Structure 1
Amino acid sequence: MIDIKLIREKPDYVKAAIKKRQMDLDGVVDEILAVDKERREATGKVESKKAEQNAVSKEIPKIKKAGGDASEVLAKMKALSGEVKEANAKLSEINDKQRTLMLSLPNLPDEDVQPGGKEQNIPDHYFKEKPVFNFEPKNHVDLCESLGMIDYQRGAKIAGSGAWIYRGWGARMEWAILNFFINEHLSDGYELILPPHMLNYECGYVAGQFPKFTDEVYWIQNPTSSEKKFMLPTAETALVNLHRDEILSEKDLPRKYIAYTPCYRREAGSYRSEERGMIRGHQFNKVEMVQYATPEGSDAAFQEMVGKAERLVQELGLHYRVSRLAAGDCSFSMARTYDIEVWIPSMGIYKEVSSASNARDYQARRGNVKYRDANRKLHFVHTLNASGLATSRIMPAIVEQNQNADGSVTVPEVLRPYMGIDVIQPEK
């Protein structure tokens, strides 16, 4: 959520920043300012009525002590009580209206973020050269099937389109990749969290996914109560809620967490032929990084997380690039995002395996997550997240970039201790 003081003091700046996302919300900003003025006036009225009520209430014991008749004052008190109740109801209505309007505003992109949509994304740098083959390379779907790594048909049979089954060396490689990622993060001082997969509404609200994107998750209704939960679309949604409504100590920041979870996405399941296989699915595995940082340490935390995600892809030996996303391609809650994108030879394009993002204090304001500095002053934390990494595109990149002429796939060196094999051979 954006600071109302910023909107109040720099409305033109806020409008211009939102336009960088290719969104025109000038009318909403103007309405927020009008409602904010109305809210402050209503607050003043409530406080004035309460002060008058308090002053009158002090007269009652004096009148009774003097043996006088307090009926007139009591009648005035009753009238004031009704007026206060009515004024509070009006103020509550105004607050709800302002809150709804405020929630419709996305985070403001950082000043150095390029305006425009994804066509304005900027490739920042590359790692290694694109693999070159002296034979006709296969795509990851055919490779994984011939190597007995993935069963797409039975996956679709038991769960529908956008689902697959890891089997044999595919299951072992998936587990190896996850173990490799987790061990690397643990050695860097991150705390491992295994969160619930079913979350309450507040989690989506704090993360910035609700109320705008409530239709993009899988909802679960408890048949024996009114309780309703959703399946997490990413572990970030859980991790940024760990300290909701808490006050942290500055000396304990940054706090660094990782979580392994499956991710459940309703919006997945593209029918484009180039996105078949594991490139886009309704459920996939991911290790997620989240940090809580001070505003002063926020930029350093972001660079650290980008570097960590990059290092994982580097150690797997894959060709990739890092892209700086334009404002319109950053998600609703994020002020800046860098994507780490691996090369998928059969598709001839790069696919994102990690988005490293800085939400600044946008999520912390929604979740009321603060820290106390050395001078005992309270500030909102900054929250950051990055995939470390998503596996459903890592495996296609591994098998396609590491394929051999005989149809085998060379296992990356860092995964061999987990798998106990150097090369995966085609099934006979």
Structure 2
Amino acid sequence: MHDIRAIRENPTAFDHDLQRRGLSPLSAELIALDEARRGAVSAAQGNQERRNALAKEIGAAKKARDEARAEGLMTEVARLKEEGPALDAAQAAAARALDERLASIPNRPKTDVPEGADEHGNVEYRRFEPTHPWLEKGRQHFELGEAFGLMDFEAAARLSGSRFVVLKGQLARLERALGQFMLNLHTTEHGYTEVAPPILVRDEAMFGTAQLPKFRDDQFAAGDGYWLIPTAEVPLTNLVRESILSEGELPLRFTALTPCFRAEAGAAGRDTRGMLRQHQFNKVELVSITAPEKSAEEHERMLACAEAVLKALELPFRVMTLCTGDMGFASQKTYDIEVWMPGQETYREISSCSVCGDFQARRMNARYRSKDGKPAYLHTLNGSGVAVGRALIAVMENYQNPDGSVTIPSALQPHMGGLNRIEGPKI
């Protein structure tokens, strides 16, 4: 959510930032809505102030035994009372119109975000290549998984339809091992607090992190005002909603391993084979809550924590700074980590780390009390640490062997009971 006061103070800067995201200038429209809101507030306040003044005049008239004047004043009070509900309704409607419009506008990009219309405008930030030789080309994960008899898309389709999978045996254990490995890394080495949050949340929580109302069609509604979470970002970030923290409590760092649910409404025809784009998947989420002056530093720290997962697994990856046209709605700046997939012979996103400034905090009314004692809005950050299903894909494709087996990375072997290989059929 944007700050209308900041827009009024510098409408040119606001319009410039929106233009960088490919949007037309909106400051004039927003200021007009705010003027209407202010006018409605003024009218309602004027009505109440006049009634208060009349009450004093009525008292004075009665004290002076001027019944005719008192009666006339009471008639005016009655008229003002009748007008009151309509004025209050107009005030609420004007405020709602402004808030709804503000809520529909994406966050302003930071000045160092590259400008571009889509993913072609993204800029490489850095990359990591393991010291050992890594595959440039190989079989795709679903070819390997189906050959093992441990990755069953047909059974999943009978159960739930397309974009689901049933993992069995050693592949199911490998996915579980990946999630446990990531959680242990983030909690023991990176200082995140593990949280087991609800995976059903209310409208207010989805609004707070900006999934609603704009991206309603991408979500799974569970009925009675509940939604299945698209990511643990939603419950973790909303842990601080409607609260005022002390500066000494910051930063807060949370992590969770949860199922995630996405309708993928805008992804028809994309990645229909395999596990790359599923309606249900597991992900380890990272969320940080910071003071404003610390959020840029925390963004780099979060990125490094997500990178540490792939480095420990010795998977080749690159980090991309997303351009203005490819960033998420709530983001000020986003880094995507893209892992190498030999089966597709390309890099694919496995983590997205974003700093949102006070954009989500305003929607959640999440504040902290700074050293001067005045409440100020918090800054929020979120990132994948990382997507477990895509990590499974990356491990399978990067650690495949000519005989069809898959080697278990050494970092995962303690979580696999010492198993170092998933055997496949001879090729």
Residue identity in the other structure for 2:277: R
Contact 1:162/1:268, CA 8 A, preserved across alignment: no
Q: 2:207 is matched with which residue?
A: 205
Structure 1: how far apart are the matches of 2:125 and 2:86? 58
Alignment gaps of 5+ in structure 1: 222-226
User: For residues 373 and 274 of structure 1, do their structure 2 counterparts lie closer, same or farther at Cα, with a shift above 3 Å needed?
Assistant: closer
Structure 2: how far apart are the matches of 1:55 and 1:269? 58
The Cα shift of 1:271 comes to 6.2
User: For residues 273 and 255 of structure 1, do their structure 2 counterparts lie closer, same or farther at Cα, with a shift above 3 Å needed?
Assistant: closer
The Cα shift of 1:114 comes to 1.1
Tell me, yes or no, if structure 1 residue 162 matches structure 2 residue 160. Answer: no
Structure 2: how far apart are the matches of 1:115 and 1:394? 30
Structure-1-length-normalised TM-score: 0.93
Tell me, yes or no, if structure 1 residue 109 matches structure 2 residue 109. Answer: yes
The Cα shift of 1:103 comes to 1.4
User: For residues 157 and 146 of structure 1, do their structure 2 counterparts lie closer, same or farther at Cα, with a shift above 3 Å needed?
Assistant: same
The Cα shift of 1:325 comes to 0.2
The Cα shift of 1:268 comes to 6.3
Q: 1:386 is matched with which residue?
A: 383
The Cα shift of 1:169 comes to 0.7
Contact 1:274/1:347, CA 8 A, preserved across alignment: no
Q: 1:407 is matched with which residue?
A: 404
SS in 1 for 2:146: helix
Q: 2:369 is matched with which residue?
A: 372
Contact 2:403/2:425, CA 8 A, preserved across alignment: no
2:28 to 27, 30, 33: 30
Give the ranges of 4+ consecutive aligned residues of structure 1 lying more than 4 Å apart after TM superposition.
Answer: 129-134, 268-275
Structure 2: how far apart are the matches of 1:427 and 1:160? 28
Tell me, yes or no, if structure 1 residue 178 matches structure 2 residue 179. Answer: yes
Q: 2:192 is matched with which residue?
A: 190
Q: 2:141 is matched with which residue?
A: 140
Q: 2:337 is matched with which residue?
A: 340
Shifted more, 255-264 versus 142-151: the winner is 142-151
Residue identity in the other structure for 1:21: R
Q: 2:420 is matched with which residue?
A: 422
Alignment gaps of 5+ in structure 2: none
Structure 2: how far apart are the matches of 1:73 and 1:270? 66
Q: 1:224 is matched with which residue?
A: none
Pairwise mapping of residues 48-87 of structure 1 onto structure 2 (< 5 A)?
48-69=46-67, 70-87=70-87
Residue identity in the other structure for 1:209: Q
Structure 2: how far apart are the matches of 1:197 and 1:141? 28
Structure 1: how far apart are the matches of 2:352 and 2:362? 22
TM-superposition CA deviations, 1:362-384 (whole Å, max 9, x none): 00001100001122111000000
Structure-2-length-normalised TM-score: 0.94
Q: 2:88 is matched with which residue?
A: 88
Contact 2:135/2:342, CA 8 A, preserved across alignment: no
Contact 1:268/1:280, CA 8 A, preserved across alignment: no
TM-superposition CA deviations, 1:178-227 (whole Å, max 9, x none): 11011111112211111111211111111111111111111122xxxxx2
Structure 2: how far apart are the matches of 1:29 and 1:264? 35
Structure 1: how far apart are the matches of 2:135 and 2:288? 40
TM-superposition CA deviations, 1:311-345 (whole Å, max 9, x none): 01100110000000001111111111000110101
Q: 2:305 is matched with which residue?
A: 308
Aligned residue pairs total: 420
The Cα shift of 1:113 comes to 0.6
The Cα shift of 1:89 comes to 2.1
